[in-house]
Amino acid sequence: MSTKPAATASLKRVGRLAEHRRESARAFLRLRAAPVATLVTLLVIGIALLLPSLLNHLQRALTSGVLALQSEPSISVYLELEASEDNVLQVSEQILQLTDVDAIEVITPAQALAQLGETAGLDKDLLATFDDEVSVRLPSQSPASPAKSRNPLPTTLVVSLSASKDSSEIVAVTAERLAAEIRTIDSVDSVTAEGAWLTRLHALAQIIRRSAQLLAALMAIGLLAAIGNTVRLSVEQRRDEIRVSKLIGASNGYVARPFLYAGLFLGLGGGLVAWLLQLVVVGLVGHEVNQFLALYTAQANSLAVSQIALLAQRAAQDLGLLLGTGAALGWLAALVASHRAIAACEP
């Protein structure tokens, strides 16, 4: 006896599924019957989903780039060219007396020149024309045997800050404070707080993140209005059919079902369009991302390549997110618009 209710319930579920398949197929065919209007709507939805997604990708790329390039905080102190060894020692002792200073590394002009030659790939013969001492050409010397030029690079002190668990912003403020104090020391020509640009880049990433959130909210409202208006117009075109359906006992939920599927399909299609456009844009701006990161550090060339690959990987992973977001917005917009319009279609 208990098998009858179970079989009846199973048949009802199969019947409901068949109804949903039939209504979804009808909704898809209606969209395909108006290809121009459908494509325009899909393009609008895709662009609306694309813009905040691209900003989110850019913010994540900048943030991961900052984390990858983050190093121990340090300050580069460039002494005057005329600074002697005694001056170097005196400046080092004064810096070590400052708070938050951990250690100092002295880079002589000869070491700096060698590092420059290795980094820039300069010819060794060219580097050999420089000397640490000032050489003056004597009147008796011939132009064919030029005297060595003075090394143009100053003595550099690399000041390492004490280890801290503070945030990068607080560490950057500490570095700027120490840099200002070091500038007042005699024989110091210029001071650079390394890593300050990382803080600025991080701040830029946060601005982009907030902008992406605001743009996503605005675009969601716009999509709800656009899809809702499309569904409302579709309801108006089928007003007579809806009235006849209500006369024979159809509920508002049953009548609204094809419009809900239409909104769902529009959202899914718009999400797919956004994903395809995102892949194209990421491929086009990859070189510019490389150049942007190369402005800050020599390590950025290899980092930018990894960031481009990461952007492409995330774009592929975001397919589900874009499809889900588009489908949810399309279904919600169709739900609100169709029920309001159908409720007004009284027989």
Question: What CATH number is associated with residue 173?
Answer: 3.30.70.3040
pLDDT tens figures, 300-310: 455 555 555 55
The size of the chain, in residues, is 347
Domain assignment of residue 103, yes or no: yes
- What would the two tokens of residue 92 be? 């080092």
pLDDT band at 39, cuts 50/70/90?
very high
Amino acid 74: pLDDT:
78
pLDDT band at 328, cuts 50/70/90?
very high
For residues 209 and 62, state if they share a domain: yes
For residues 26 and 120, state if they share a domain: no
For residues 275 and 335, state if they share a domain: yes
For residues 178 and 298, state if they share a domain: no
- What would the two tokens of residue 167 be? 């945030």
Domain assignment of residue 52, yes or no: yes
Domain assignment of residue 4, yes or no: no
For residues 204 and 339, state if they share a domain: yes
Q: Is residue 282 within 8 Å of residue 311, measured between CB atoms?
A: yes
Residue that finishes a domain, picked among 194, 222, 251? 194
147 vs 79, which has greater pLDDT? Answer: 79
Q: Is the pLDDT of residue 127 over 60?
A: no
Amino acid 111: pLDDT:
80
| Chain centre to alpha carbon of residue 217 | 18
Q: Is 58 exposed, middle or buried (0-12, 13-18, 19+ CB in 10 A)?
A: buried
For residues 63 and 106, state if they share a domain: no
Q: Is the pLDDT of residue 31 over 50?
A: yes
CA distance 62 to 68: 10
Amino acid 125: pLDDT:
59
122 vs 147, which has greater pLDDT? Answer: 122
Amino acid 142: pLDDT:
45
Average the pLDDT over each of 173-187, 209-223, 307-321 and give the range with the smallest value: 307-321
For a pLDDT cut of 90, what percent of the chain falls above it?
Answer: 14
Residue that finishes a domain, picked among 171, 194, 217? 194
Overall domain count for the chain = 2
Amino acid 71: pLDDT:
58
CA distance 162 to 10: 71
CA distance 107 to 76: 10
CA distance 55 to 214: 11
CA distance 286 to 269: 26
Residue 248 belongs to domain spanning: 10-68+200-343
Q: Are strands 74-79 and 149-150 parallel, antiparallel or unpaired?
A: unpaired
Residue that finishes a domain, picked among 141, 159, 194? 194
Q: Is the pLDDT of residue 164 over 80?
A: no
Q: Tell me the CA end-to-end span of the chain in Å, nearest whole number.
A: 43
For residues 228 and 312, state if they share a domain: yes
Amino acid 179: pLDDT:
85
CA distance 138 to 181: 43
3-state secondary structure at position 80: coil
Domain assignment of residue 176, yes or no: yes
CA distance 135 to 148: 6
Collect all residues with Cβ–Cβ distance below 8 Å to 296 and sequence separation of at least 6.
Answer: 69, 197, 201
For residues 287 and 187, state if they share a domain: no
Domain assignment of residue 94, yes or no: yes
3-state secondary structure at position 260: helix
Average the pLDDT over each of 17-21, 84-88, 319-323 and give the range with the smallest value: 17-21
Q: Is the pLDDT of residue 38 over 80?
A: yes
Domain assignment of residue 288, yes or no: yes
| Largest interatomic CA distance in the chain | 124
3-state secondary structure at position 149: strand
pLDDT band at 218, cuts 50/70/90?
very high
Name the phi and psi angles at 162, rounded to 5: -65, 150
Domain assignment of residue 2, yes or no: no
Domain assignment of residue 133, yes or no: yes
- What would the two tokens of residue 118 be? 């290795």
263 vs 318, which has greater pLDDT? Answer: 263
Provide the mean pLDDT of the chain: 77
- What would the two tokens of residue 285 be? 């701006």
For residues 234 and 273, state if they share a domain: yes
For residues 186 and 328, state if they share a domain: no
Amino acid 43: pLDDT:
94
For residues 218 and 307, state if they share a domain: yes
CA distance 36 to 46: 15
Interval 50-56 mean pLDDT: 87
pLDDT tens figures, 176-196: 888 888 888 888 888 887 666
For residues 37 and 139, state if they share a domain: no
Interval 126-138 mean pLDDT: 48
CA distance 203 to 210: 11
Average the pLDDT over each of 22-31, 126-135, 315-324 and give the range with the smallest value: 126-135
